[in-house]
A and B are shown apart, each in its own frame.
Chain A
Amino acid sequence: MPSAAVHIPVASSSGSFLITPNVGLMVWVLVIFGICWFVLRKSVFPQINAMLDRRAKAISDEIDSAEQLRQESQQVLEEYRQRLAEARTQADEIVTRARQAAEAHQKEAVETARGERERLLEQTRRDVEAETRRAIDEIRREVADLTVLATEKVTRKTLTDADQRRLVEEALADLDFSVLSGGEG
């Protein structure tokens, strides 16, 4: 690439231009800076300011909203805790009541069972007594019949049924059948 420095001999100055203000440049700077200042002041900075204000407001609103949400959630939490406590109390009451009911029911069932058992025992006892009584009567009749029959065979005399019955009854009356009825007479 052919390149060579070409120095134009116009610049061998003392360097005083460095500290001498270029008036033309001053005017240019003043005008151009003035335009920038005016344009930015009118068109750009208000937009940025409005944007920052909007954002600040949005952030402020978000903070308020978050605070409100926090309060609401706190309230909901309190309510929840309260309801939870109420539910626990109710549950405890229900359990207590159920336990009491179960105990009462159990007690009642035990009582009923006990009463039924007593009733059945009583019934059984009565049945046994009745059966014993009936068996004794049966035995008596059998003994009376056998006695009549034996008497007839011994005496060859026929007694009337009424006589025979009376005699047997009298005889049997002296007998003790309490053994057969378990000691009860």
Chain B
Amino acid sequence: MSAITAPAPTGAPAPNENRDRPGMSRGRKLGLTLGGLWLAGLVFFIAVLGFKSHKAPTVASGVFTPTNEFKLDTWFAVGPVDFNKGVLYVIIAAAITLGVMFYVAGRLRQRPGRMQAAVEMFYGLTSGMARENLDDPMARKYFPLIATLFVFILVTNLIGYIPLPVNSIDKFTLFGAHLPSFQIFAADTNVAFPLILSLLVFVLFSWERFKHNHYNPIAALKSLMPSGLSGPIAPLIFVIEILSYFLRLISLTVRLWANLLAGHMLIAFMGGELGVLVGDPWVQWLLFPFGIAIYLFEAVLIAALQAFIFSVLTAIYLGDAVTTH
């Protein structure tokens, strides 16, 4: 019986061996490199510092609270008018909104550039919202409100993802100077911002309902009821409809406010704050990629989505106000 022996490996690979293996794309290489660095950093922090908590004194003593960065610290006051970072963000948002809109309006061309195309797209979107939910006279009347709400909230949301030195409560020292810490803050993380806009919308659509019912408050309330409803269930439905009507104010407010506040808190926690609170640097390192992912998700999707939802609900509520059930 003879043994069949395979030829011994030559050691050096054949010249075309690498050519047959599919090469990694640049993105894959970058991803693998970053993943490797992340794992290496995790191992480094655990190896050097261990699992032992290294809480900062201010954290241990409870002076540092994550929600403090959303507190509106009054910077100065002119009579009864306070000025704080919320006001600053609202002013910046208004300046950017008006600046961009006037810039585009002053350079309108038959063949639009990128910015004009973007503004026209926004105009078409909000114009569509108005036309789909309102009749022509109402659409003409309220389109500016709907469009302004959309662009103003959008800009407010977007600048809320740019780190600015506005945290005057937690300062840092640079060359002896106490400077406000950088933070990502949005004016609509304070409930005042969405609440006043919701109140404005609520008052307007309530007024339109009142007017549509010939200034008769009873008829206006009755118009909330679905048509063809009678019997003992009618009072129950009436109560539900009244509650639902006033809950519009709450839902409009809370939807925008809670989304933005929760988003910013998630970014802050994942971006390192949780690690500071538990006092473990490896936790910071572990969660940092998730912080980036949530940041991108919020900035790319949530900012525009919340602006869209607020303005489209405004259009729907205004349209509902002048619709007879």
B190 x A1 contact (CB < 8 A): no
The residue from A9, A26, A29, A54 contacting B110, defined by CB atoms under 8 A apart: A54
Q: Assess the A5–B147 pair: CB atoms within 8 A.
A: no
- Which residues of chain B have C-beta atoms less than 8 A from A17's C-beta? 70-72
Nearest residue, chain B, Cβ from A58:
B110
**Is there a chain B Cβ closer than 8 Å to A15's Cβ?**
yes
Instruction: Tell me, yes or no, whether A12 is within 8 Å of chain B by CB.
Output: yes
Name 20 A/B residue pairs within 8 A (Cβ), A-sorted: A5-B181, A11-B68, A15-B65, A17-B70, A18-B261, A20-B191, A21-B196, A25-B187, A25-B192, A27-B196, A28-B90, A29-B192, A33-B94, A37-B144, A43-B102, A44-B102, A45-B123, A45-B143, A52-B120, A54-B110
Please encode chain A, from 1 to 40, with 1 for each CB lying within 8 Å of some chain B CB and 0 for all others. 1111111111111010111111111111110110111011
Minimal beta-carbon separation of A21 from chain B (angstroms): 4
Alpha-carbon gap, A5 to B56, bound state (A): 10
5 new A-B contacts, CB < 8 A, other than A2-B173, A7-B170, A36-B152, are A6-B171, A6-B172, A18-B70, A47-B108, A52-B124
Q: A11-B71, A30-B196 are in contact. Are A3 and B173 (CB under 8 A)?
A: yes
Contact A9 B87 (CB under 8 A): no
Which residue from B105, B119, B175, B195 sits with its C-beta under 8 Å from A21?
Answer: B195
Q: Mark B91-129, 1 if CB is under 8 A from A, else 0.
A: 100100110011011001010000000011001100000
Q: Is the CB of A25 within 8 A of B101?
A: no
- A150, CB-defined interface residue at 8 Å: no
- Residue A41 is within 8 A (CB to CB) of chain B in the complex: yes
Q: Check if B281 is an interface residue, CB within 8 A of chain A.
A: no
* A179 at interface by CB-CB < 8 Å: no
Contact B97 A36 (CB under 8 A): yes
Return chain A residues, CB-CB under 8 Å to B101.
40, 44
Number of A-B contacts (CB under 8 A): 155
| Binary per-residue interface labels of chain B (8-38) against chain A in the complex, 1 for a CB within 8 Å, 0 otherwise | 0000000000000000000000000000000
Using a CB–CB cutoff of 8 Å, the interface residues on chain A facing chain B are: 1-13, 15, 17-30, 32-33, 35-37, 39-41, 43-45, 47-49, 51-52, 54-55, 58
B63 touches A29 (CB 8 A): no
Q: Which residues of B contact A (CB under 8 A)?
A: 56, 58, 62-65, 67-68, 70-73, 80-82, 84, 86-87, 90-91, 94, 97-98, 101-102, 104-105, 108, 110, 119-120, 123-124, 143-145, 147-148, 151-152, 169-175, 178, 181, 187, 190-193, 195-197, 200, 261
Asked if B173 and A25 sit within 8 Å, CB to CB, the answer is no
Q: Taking the nearest CB of chain A, how far is it from the CB of B91, in angstroms?
A: 7
